[in-house]
Amino acid sequence: MSHSSEPVMAEPAESVPPAGAAQPGRGWFGAVLATIQWLFGLLSMIVLLAVAATIPLVQLLSLGYLLEVSGRVARTGRLRDGFIGIHNAARVGTLLLGTGLFLLPIFFVREMWLTARLIDPASEVTRGWRIGLLVVSVLLLTHILWAWLRGGRFRDFAWPAPLKFWRQLRSGGLFTDARDATWNFVSSLRLPHYLWLGLRGFVGALLWLVLPVTLLAVATRLPEPAAVLIGLCGGLLLATVLLYLPLLQAHFAAENRFGAMFELGTIRQLYRRAPLACWFALLITLAFALPLYLLKIELLPREAAWLPSLVFVVFIFPARLLTGWALGRARHHLQPRHFIFRWSARLAALPVVAVYTLIVFLTQYLSWYGAYSLYEQHAFLVPVPFLGL
């Protein structure tokens, strides 16, 4: 097995605390709160990945994170290590949710003022709503800013802590501390790492897919005898690539080397050590990638583009976890499995990739973008159709 020539960035693994497991000094209630916070962080992470996946270039962050998930699990062999940055996602989620809730009264008062102004611009009611809008805006925006400066947790939004606010103003250094804390938090997100990982993972997968997909796309524009031959060649090539590409991407993420994306011999050796696990990961990856094709029949409004992306993240996140888990089992087993298991897994993989290839080929007749939709391989590239962004 090859070894990484680049240092792999380590990050403490985060996992859900067992239900009912008490934290030191906090008891069962603290354990319940910690579990709720972790689940909220997981939900926040899914939503953030879905939103990021709809923004050009930023969508590579989403792909990079999912690659890191499979790479982390492949290195350690533990599924729980794939839940990366959950506590940071919870903090971002509370920031956005708390801010949105406290902005609602401002929007309500503003609408009342605009309505009153339309009815009678010079009335006392209109003037009262205008003064109320000014007062409510100053108070709530100050509260939101103060909650952000204290960390943006739910308790920071729920209680303004006026005495602490007064002491901070008198002692000074409030904004300096907030600036340093913000910088440390943003640095802990490791956005450049995910962006670079996603870009390389995208390019590597595209190099594997571009030839078979192009053959399938060209086949639809040729006369019948040539179309059948070219389409058959493209389908066979795509099916062959699908047998290895999920593990190749996980191997690349685990090694953090672009060249690992093309180490086919290494993947074949690893496959021999955990054939059933690799087959199961392949099955889940391809099966969970199919639902998003149904969402490409009609062109969605841009403001609703995050909905199919949300479906993608919900389905493909466990697929990345399982792919990393399968590769991790193979990396930790030193000997190949019995030939019966190896050949059973290989034979069982053939109908899986064949059915997926056939469905992908047929989706060009249902997708809004026609044959160009064949290049939208969201299971291995960016989460949403990049041609439509």
In this structure, the answer to whether residues 140 and 264 fall within a common structural domain is no
Query: Residue 58 has what pLDDT?
Result: 87
Q: How many domains does the chain have?
A: 2
Query: Residue 302 has what pLDDT?
Result: 62
Note whether 330 and 274 are within 8 A (CB). Answer: yes
Helix, strand and coil in the chain, % to nearest 5: 75, 0, 25
Residue 61 lies in a domain: no
Query: Distance from CA of residue 125 to its chain's centroid?
Result: 49
Q: Which of 127, 161, 188 is the last residue of a domain?
A: 188
Query: Residue 21 has what pLDDT?
Result: 44
What span, in angstroms and rounded, lies between the C-alpha atoms of 249 and 322? Answer: 13
Which pTM was predicted?
0.82
In this structure, the answer to whether residues 234 and 355 fall within a common structural domain is yes
Least confident of 211-225, 330-344, 363-377: 363-377
Query: Residue 389 has what pLDDT?
Result: 39
In this structure, the answer to whether residues 368 and 262 fall within a common structural domain is yes
Residue 346 amino acid letter: R
Residue 267 lies in a domain: yes
Residue 195 has pLDDT above 70, yes or no: yes
Tokens of 249: 């991407």
What span, in angstroms and rounded, lies between the C-alpha atoms of 361 and 220? Answer: 10
In this structure, the answer to whether residues 367 and 309 fall within a common structural domain is yes
In this structure, the answer to whether residues 224 and 366 fall within a common structural domain is yes
pLDDT tens, position by position, 235-268: 999 999 999 999 999 999 999 999 999 999 999 9
DSSP 23: B
Residue 287 lies in a domain: yes
C-beta atoms surrounding 188 within 10 Å: 13
Tokens of 94: 């509370």
Query: Residue 184 has what pLDDT?
Result: 84
Q: Is 29 exposed, middle or buried (0-12, 13-18, 19+ CB in 10 A)?
A: exposed
Residue 228 lies in a domain: yes
Tokens of 273: 């050590």
What span, in angstroms and rounded, lies between the C-alpha atoms of 250 and 119? Answer: 63
Q: Which of 188, 218, 245 is the last residue of a domain?
A: 188
Residue 377 lies in a domain: yes
In this structure, the answer to whether residues 222 and 175 fall within a common structural domain is no
pLDDT tens, position by position, 116-173: 899 888 888 889 999 999 999 999 998 898 888 887 888 888 888 777 777 777 776 6
Residue 258 amino acid letter: F
Residue 71 lies in a domain: no
C-beta atoms surrounding 149 within 10 Å: 18
Q: Give the C-alpha distances (Å, rounded to integers) separating 64 from 108, 175, 199, 341.
A: 39, 33, 7, 33
> Which structural domain, as residue segments, surrounds residue 345?
191-388
Q: Give the C-alpha distances (Å, rounded to integers) separating 357 from 6, 87, 214, 216.
A: 35, 38, 13, 10
% residues pLDDT > 90 (the chain): 46
